[in-house]
């Protein structure tokens, strides 16, 4: 499984609708509108790197209003459950 975080900058006119469009893409597990330098963050989970390339370059970056993306591929994924078990003292 490939996990990635995609930061997205968008045109102002796309802000009201782009979050829903991102969330509708196959492979996008979650999409957030955020403050700061970027407008949206998409959490991507796909089976293979080729699917990530197709999703980001072929679909996500082609959505109307997307002006820039920055993709970070995760080396490892941790969930809250994993972290709690790691630091548990057997309680």
Q: What is the pLDDT of residue 89?
A: 58
Q: Are 31 and 40 in contact (CB under 8 A)?
A: yes
Q: Are 41 and 34 in contact (CB under 8 A)?
A: yes
Cα–Cα distance measured from residue 91 to residue 61, given in angstroms and rounded to the nearest whole number: 46
Q: In the predicted model, is pLDDT for residue 91 greater than 80?
A: no
Residue 55's nearest CA partner among 74, 65, 42, 64 is 42
Among 23-27, 80-84, 86-90, name the most confident range. 23-27
Q: What is the pLDDT of residues 7-28, one digit of tens each?
A: 999 999 999 999 999 999 999 9
Enter the tokens of residue 12. Answer: 């102002």
CA 17 to the chain's CA centroid: 16
pTM, full prediction: 0.86
Q: In the predicted model, is pLDDT for residue 52 greater than 70?
A: yes
| Ordered structural domains, the chain, with CATH | 2-87 (3.30.70.920)
Q: What is the pLDDT of residue 85?
A: 62
Least confident of 10-14, 23-27, 33-37, 83-87: 83-87
Say which residues have a Cβ less than 8 Å from residue 59's Cβ, sequence separation at least 6. 25
- What average pLDDT does the chain have? 92
Q: For the sheet with 28-33, list strands across it.
A: 28-33, 40-46, 2-10, 66-73
Q: Torsions phi, psi of 80, nearest 5?
A: -55, -40
């Amino acid at each position: 499984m490939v996990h990635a975080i995609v930061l997205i900058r968008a045109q102002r006119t796309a802000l009201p609708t782009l979050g829903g469009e991102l969330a509708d893409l196959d492979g996008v597990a979650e999409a957030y509108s955020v403050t700061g330098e970027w407008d949206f963050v998409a959490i991507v989970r796909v089976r293979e790197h080729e699917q990530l390339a197709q999703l980001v370059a072929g679909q996500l970056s082609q959505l109307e209003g997307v002006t820039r993306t920055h993709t970070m591929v995760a080396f490892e994924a941790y969930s809250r459950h994993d972290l709690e078990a790691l630091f548990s003292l057997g309680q």
